[in-house]
Amino acid sequence: MFNAEPSVKALVPFVSVHNMMRLVHHIGIETVLSELTDAIEADFRRWPMFDKTPRIASHSRDGVIELMPTSDGVVYGFKYVNGHPKNTAEGLQTVTAFGLLADVATGYPVLLTEMTLLTALRTAATSAMAARYLAPAGARCMAMIGNGAQAEFQALAMKAVCGIDSVRLYDIDPQATEKTRRNLEGSGLTVVACTSGEAAIEGAGIVTTCTADKQFATILTDNMIGTGVHINAIGGDCPGKTELHRDILRRADTFVEFPPQTRIEGEIQQMEADYPVIELWRVVNGEVPGRRDARQVTLFDSVGFAIEDFSALRYVRDWVAGTDFQQSLDMIADPDDPRDLFGMLQRAH
């Protein structure tokens, strides 16, 4: 007889956008950012254990759709994410995402979740983790150039993890800057809206660029970067899409996630193939130093790597287990006899 109720084995825990927002408010956003930073750092420390591949990108005229898989041999995860800078003009977001975790032993999914919010959180947490090792000692002020969807998350992670107390904003669109200023009111950060990139970087020990444009852009030129600054370059993350003038790269010590991916997608795509980079995971596990002196210009050439999403997915799975932050999705066909998939379909008629 056909049983309309899915079995337990058919059900996959699902975190909707609504529940992700409830979860973040339940925990507190700065706590989420701090805990995610620690979770990502723990996975960077065991970097060699992971399967690693540059993400699989499908480029089109106006954007890119990417799949980002990895596994630590016990759990497998992937994220679907897009990047379409022109979307905001049409009322759509530049970046949206969802992701999945699966049990390596059986291949069965153990979590499906929204990741548009989670990507903003994990990207900010990764920035903060890098800044822990690379920002000048005692940096209290950051510049945030590009005041779109990621901006507030970036600022709050630097506050929660690195002790930043003021942020100087700039965007070519003053409405974006005003949105970010308003959203950060009451956050405890001193927020200064600026009318140029030059003004925004004044006195900033950390300069974050997070702009979206499907072309080579020059958000920062060499003369804008004084000694001792840490640059956190987020927005250049696709072939043909960069934010920094290459002269900055000549002066900076450049730290990256996964070199084979960053050489295709990061700021360093502008440089020769043997341009020296330092893998961030080696800094995190103590093999090589991060910031060595107060005059050094450091650059985190961030493009976003699958292991950061894996850490975020596991963080969410651990939090939502057994709570009403997750719903059950009838997602895996579960015939009574595993080999009688057709019979299950027939009986449902």
Ligand X SMILES: NC(=O)c1ccc[n+]([C@@H]2O[C@H](COP(=O)([O-])OP(=O)(O)OC[C@H]3O[C@@H](n4cnc5c(N)ncnc54)[C@H](O)[C@@H]3O)[C@@H](O)[C@H]2O)c1
User: Residue 344: is it exposed, middle or buried by C-beta count within 10 angstroms (0-12/13-18/19+)?
Assistant: middle
Q: Round to whole Å and give the CA distance between 346 and 343.
A: 5
Q: Decide if residue 211 touches ligand X (CB under 6 A).
A: yes
Contacting range for ligand X; rule: CB under 6 A; set: 132-140, 213-221, 273-281, 317-325: 213-221
CB closer to ligand X, 110 vs 206: 206
Q: Round to whole Å and give the CA distance between 230 and 204.
A: 9
Q: Decide if residue 199 touches ligand X (CB under 6 A).
A: no
Q: Round to whole Å and give the CA distance between 333 and 344.
A: 9
User: Residue 106: is it exposed, middle or buried by C-beta count within 10 angstroms (0-12/13-18/19+)?
Assistant: exposed
Which of 43, 171, 237, 309 is labelled catalytic?
A: 237
Identify the residue among 102, 219, 299, 316 touching ligand X (CB under 6 A): 219
Contacting range for ligand X; rule: CB under 6 A; set: 87-95, 129-137, 159-167, 336-344: 87-95
Give the number of other CB atoms < 10 A from CB of residue 228: 17
Q: Decide if residue 94 touches ligand X (CB under 6 A).
A: yes
Contact positions with ligand X (CB under 6 A) in 153-192: 171-173, 176
Identify the residue among 37, 119, 269, 296 touching ligand X (CB under 6 A): 119
Contacting range for ligand X; rule: CB under 6 A; set: 110-118, 198-206, 212-220, 329-337: 212-220
Q: Decide if residue 210 touches ligand X (CB under 6 A).
A: yes
1 HSE (CA, 13 A, CB side): 3
CA dihedral 328, 68, 267, 206 (to 10 degrees): 30
Q: Is 293 a catalytic residue?
A: no
Q: Angle at which helices 151-162 and 116-134 pack, to 10 degrees?
A: 40
Contact positions with ligand X (CB under 6 A) in 272-311: 302-304
Contacting range for ligand X; rule: CB under 6 A; set: 27-35, 51-59, 82-90, 313-321: 82-90
Query: CA angle, corner 315, sides to 311 and 320, nearest 5?
Result: 150
Q: Decide if residue 147 touches ligand X (CB under 6 A).
A: yes
Contact set with ligand X (CB under 6 A): 83, 85, 88, 94-95, 119, 123, 145-150, 171-173, 176, 210-213, 217, 219, 234-235, 237, 302-304
Q: Active-site residues: which are they?
A: 237
